[in-house]
Structure 1
């Protein structure tokens, strides 16, 4: 590793010995831990955030106990994140059973809660996300811009269910809020250094203090370096590496006793060479057998091609195209809070950008089939939120706000076919199949533009009708306007724009300008009752909408290889959500048990589906008529003493397409000649021949089948035990901690396929350390301790070849961390 790489490794740290402070209400919702007096204090024990008897939340813009707020919410302190190694969203999902994060690369990422939020699969610029992602109160318009390392994070909140009547941006499935540490008027500094296998190095640092009586600052930096976990045997490169750097600065100005302003700026750069997919398994499609990957007499055998390993957990690939996954993320915001006595007025102004520079090998193997596939993209967004919230403790409390958001995205896509494309992709009956020059150098240059404007007013009331009984209606009026442009120019290897039918079947020129605009009104109604100080129940109904979208990844083609313009837009999702919950604490609040049951129905569900045509590698959007998701979840924690704490969380989620009659077919029902009245569909996985082809249905009815990416069962559990100790002259405690997770199998294809189920798996993380009374912490850790072999996702190669490729999760990693707060 170079000295310049070492220079990046300074990062902001959160002391695991510091209780989470209660911040100013600058972001929705602000949640913080506050320690109650321990009923059985141990003067030798060092308190941690998990010792807290109650958590205070300002989700409705006023201080309330989280147990009394009628929202299913999980709160993780900076200490808990550090202990579990959850320094990004991908790691965070291991402790949150109802949170799912999927990423085939930073651009193609999705955050789901309870299985809903964004379509599983390739990202399409023209749609909204159903899970809001916020950093210090600022809505992040692209999920790709959420893939940064956490920098000096104070806490993370995960709210489940629709949140549009309290949020700037409408969120139909939930929200993930990240709150970074605030400037302090007391000088402080923190440093954390970690080292581990795969040459892992990570550093975190922060410094904060006053600049004057009314002005304080905070500067935080972060850096992560790690060799890759996958070897490219063709180039010698190590893939799935980490090269991350981030910095954040904040200025807090207490302008008057009633007015404070926080100016923030951040920058992140990553170049992880990540998210590689390669050989996982082979299935049989309805394409002629000599045109499928497997064999003999399959395509791989015809080319004399063998993958580096048939065991994907040998972690070897031979990708022959250029790879890159560099991204820059940054922005600035100004948050103002003005206390006018009976209420507080809050303003959140922000500008952000995201610059994505990728390169991929989209044929997933070491043959020159698709030699270039990339969509460099630049996003810019501005947002303004203003709201007024009553200052609590009244019979009738309120929050009213307005939100404006404008986003532009410019994408410059390209796809280039190689010398093996003709034989790999074209029908063997075509005279061009044996002529490499027909497809070699065939190039699609795509210019894509997107303009998105959103405006909303929203409000929420909390009326305590009688002691303990609360009536809480909410309302939102929303306007969305989207416009786009998609221009794809296709040229042959000689530079000509005149294409034959085989060339158009692989890459077809397209040009269209989709438009969408609409108003909608949504709302929710909650009844809650405080049975006692520590037992609270609630019931909620929400009617929510996710804005309609436009297709900006190319359209499917008709029988003449022309784009089907009617598929350029998708209708809004209409959501009916029902939820009941019970929040309880027992044994002097040493035991917490929260339960929630939910039932969500979505009409016109926005699904990303895969085009079955030979050369198309991107998905497009379609509306499924109806989706139904229902389930039960629980969160529990146990604190029998300050020497021991534990948690167990779990969820049962039943998510199905209630009605989707014209869905794309799974790979085992694809690749053959289109079935018709004379030629009915052939059995699944039956290959055809040149003289006796198999027939594939034009579409499939997948009503009643499961949604992708959702495990029916998921759990997380962990805890920590500590004992007083004195080592090397320092007093403190020795501790042993564990964090584990399990999820049952799930489908990794929009239409469930026998070939793309991901088996259930469990992960275990351990830590053993010593922390002193003066806030020095030294601990060793091991993650995925039992070296579980699992896939994060599976997908299929374009062209119905039957090749299934996968992205493996990280192997066992281990290391040592030292942190110190001053």
Structure 2
């Protein structure tokens, strides 16, 4: 009863905040002031037909864009019960999106074999995340919940020309809704398994004919899927408060100005994982009965804040030219703990803290003439990522403190232009020049005692300084892209493209100068060159839509983080630039929408990723050797398949829709070195959703069932074998079977 009372008090507070604060955006393409929802079948048609996307930084229909990409509307994600953007991996070919090991809101992203799973400060994702046009440089706080979103665009392959550094494997664009200039609102409440309670509200208030303000607020609670058997705390729980506010001013058809802010506070408990193997016969180190339980004794403190502010202006200079400016500031902080041994003992514990901030400025000149379309632009980023953590090895009564920061300044100039040679033949070309200046500072020191003074042990005895340096590096790169499109008829686009991408080099924040003296020199950029052939088309009187793409990529100097136990009792870390790899594959997305009452979709992805050269130092040697035949690509299933059907019928004066869906992923390894105890076999997830929509589209009642077979599947892990580390082989798991009921009203 107390919990229910608190829930209604929170609901009242949230609704009061919605009424008092301003919101962020409704889809620019939507009719202003119409709050009606669409049926799932109608939404399906919009996702593949004439939907307008901004993949090339300008508005185009999905069929016209010569880039392999998927688009999922916010309504689809909400109606099918998607918890956050990681659900996109079940709908998008060759995509892996997971919550990071030990975290609740840190994103791990891979596409076509390219990504970065190390969330430590200084390492940068290989898949770029954008909230509207603002680049989110750090993965902390990047597991975005589904509210106030018009659509999500997933671009596959290198996007270095238009999106720049680090967009080497693709981009995810979270496109929020435009406000419009009419009063409108929306409220959604959900209750589900494990006492899940979601409360979401949005409100738009026009102050004048040209100025509107709005707000979107979301609160998410959920008990844990398991428990901490040592502390009694919830394990895999959720406690998140998120909000977005904005103001939009459009005094004329040629001027649009938007100020937007967002903040997410995650106070969920840390995920400590579960032991997969015992440590001898000691019952302290025995695996738990449930994969969601833990015996971690490091504590349950976890707090993540991510927030940002942006100013966007669009000014029409003429019928053919538009000037656009995007200024943004973002920052975040994380205080967390990771218990690698999953016991009450400090066998292998890591308390940690991270901080980051970034300022970005981009200006664009958009061209929209009769036969020429394109964008020219300049980009600037100033950012700092810093942090510290202890590596506690309790059986030796030792701690290694690691701390440092990376300061980055990045400058870029870019252009991408399309030319209509004829009504059916189009050529596109683009080029970007990027220059990164980086300064890295790394400090590592041994202490005798459990934890260092920085993390609360003032009595710890300082020992050997293992790393202490500051160094500067600069990296620059040209990243071109060219494509040719042939449209033999309306709604059919055949295209071929070639493009390059690179991810900037940097400094290993864990680098140990005692074991690897060359760590002070940093590591080099990684590069990719990718070819793509594709087709996008509508057939059978626009009832069948097919997107097909085949690709081949040459991947060089891939940045691979390796962490291994060492004989001195610590953990040695180094970053390899891992030589050469070939990646090729196929992607198919089809959807049939014969009527507003029925739709079916199928997506298929195939990736073959093979190292041709992998140079690394092994066995304590000093000369790199080629171990390509012993390494595989991590987080890259060979096959991904998704299929769903949506059927609607008249019911109780409204429309009742049912959507079953199935997602299949083949075997996957979690690290470059195969580890049978950790690696995940292929699995299938079955989901279903039922939604009833009122005739005017203002009311919706829904039920979402996810992971119907209650499958257990690993999404991450750590591998520190050996008695000294408690044989710390631990895994992290995706959600179990859940059911969620939702009521939504639009006004």
- One fold, TM greater than 0.5? yes
Provide, for residues 455-481 of structure 1, a one-character-per-residue CA deviation record: whole Å limited to 9, x for no partner: 100001101122311111110010001
- Which residue does the alignment assign to 1:519? 476
C-alpha deviation, 1:75, in angstroms: 0.8
Quote the Cα distance in structure 2 between the aligned partners of 1:771 and 1:487. Answer: 58
Take 2:377 and 2:480, find their aligned partners in 1: how far apart are those partners?
14
Label 1:367 to 1:101 Cα distance change in 2 as closer, same or farther (>3 A): same
Within a 5 Å distance, the mapping from 1:403-414 to structure 2 comes to: 403-414=379-390
Q: Give 1:557 deviation, angstroms.
A: 4.0
**C-alpha separation between the residues in 1 aligned to 2:639 and 2:213?**
45
1:790 Cα deviation from its structure 2 partner? 1.2
Report what 2:455 is aligned to. Answer: none
Deviations 1:510-562 (A, max 9, x none): 2122322122111011111112112211111112222112111232643xxxx
8 Å contact from structure 1 (residues 659, 704) kept in 2: no
**Is residue 629 of structure 1 aligned with residue 608 of structure 2?**
no
| 1:150 corresponds to 2:104 | no
CA distance in 1, matches of 2:422, 2:608: 37
Looking at structure 2, the residues matched to 8 and 516 of structure 1 have their Cα atoms a distance apart, in angstroms, of: 49
Query: Is the contact between residue 515 and residue 569 of structure 1 (CA under 8 Å) also seen in structure 2?
Result: no
| Structure-2 change in CA distance of 1:458 and 1:197 (3 Å) | same
Q: What is the CA deviation profile of residues 749-774 of structure 1, one whole-angstrom value per residue up to 9, with x for unaligned ones?
A: 22223333211111111112321113
Q: Contact 1:136–1:177 (CA<8 Å) still a contact in 2?
A: yes
**In structure 2, which of residues 310, 326, 349 is the aligned counterpart of residue 333 of structure 1?**
310
Structure 2 stretches lacking a partner, 5+ long: 19-24, 32-37, 450-457
1:765 aligns with 687
Match of 1:547 in 2: 504
Structure 1 residues 197-596: aligned runs within 5 Å? 197-281=193-277, 293-294=279-280, 301=281, 303=282, 305-307=284-286, 309=288, 311-313=289-291, 315-341=292-318, 342-370=320-348, 372-392=349-369, 394-418=370-394, 421=395, 439-440=396-397, 442-493=398-449, 495=459, 499=463, 509-555=466-512, 557-558=514-515, 563-566=516-519, 568-596=521-549
Contact kept? 2:580, 2:611, Cα under 8 Å = yes
4+ runs deviating over 6 angstroms = 44-47, 697-700
TM-score (norm 2): 0.90
Distance 1:747 1:47, change over 3 A: closer
Question: In 2, Cα distance between the equivalents of 1:340 and 1:481?
Answer: 34
Tell me if structure 2 keeps the 8 A contact 1:149–1:244.
Answer: no
Paired residue for 1:435? none
| Counterpart mapping for 1:666-681 below 5 A | 674=619
Alpha carbons of 1:675 and 1:509: their partners in 2 closer, same or farther (altered >3 Å)? closer
TM-score, with normalisation over the residues of structure 1?
0.82
Give yes or no for contact 2:438–2:472 (8 Å, CA) kept in 1. yes
Of structures 1 and 2, the larger Rg is shown by 1
Query: What SS does the corresponding residue of 2:421 show, helix, strand or coil?
Result: strand
The DSSP-based 3-state class of the residue aligned with 1:466 is coil
Please, which of 670, 673, 676 is the counterpart of residue 754 of structure 1?
A: 676
Q: Structure 1 pair 207/618, CA: closer, same or farther in 2 (3 Å)? A: farther
SS at 1:539 equivalent: strand
Counterpart of 2:232 in 1: which secondary structure? Answer: coil
Tell me the SS of whatever aligns to 1:551.
coil
Q: Per the alignment, do residues 409 and 675 of structure 1 end up closer, same or farther by CA in structure 2, a change over 3 Å counting?
A: closer
Residue 184 of structure 1, CA deviation: 2.3
Asked whether the equivalents of residues 528 and 536 of structure 1 are also in contact (C-alpha less than 8 Å), the reply is yes
| Equivalent position of 2:76 in the other structure | 80
Which region of structure 1 is more displaced relative to structure 2, 465-474 or 400-409? Answer: 465-474
1:716-763: per-residue Cα shift (whole Å, max 9, x none)?
11121111122xxxx211221123211001111222233332111111
Is contact 1:323-1:360 (8 Å) kept? no
Q: Could you say what secondary structure the match of 2:579 adopts? A: strand
Alpha-carbon contact 1:469-1:528 (below 8 Å) kept: yes
Deviation at 1:567, TM superposition (A): 6.0
**Are the equivalent residues in 1 in contact too, given 2:564–2:720 (CA < 8 A)?**
no
Q: Match of 2:684, SS?
A: strand
Q: Matches of 1:640 and 1:126 in 2, distance apart?
A: 50
Unaligned runs of 5+ in 1: 14-19, 24-31, 35-43, 283-292, 295-300, 422-438, 665-673, 678-696
**1:57-136 to 2 correspondence within 5 Å?**
57-102=53-98, 103-104=100-101, 105=103, 109-118=107-116, 120=117, 122-136=118-132
Match in the other structure for 2:628: 702
* Counterpart contact for 1:307–1:317, Cα < 8 Å: no
Note if contact 1:125-1:551 (Cα within 8 Å) is conserved in structure 2: no
Distance 2:573 2:594 in 1: 51
Q: Which residue of 2 aligns with 1:690?
A: none
Which residue does the alignment assign to 1:428?
none
Q: CA deviation at 1:815?
A: 2.2
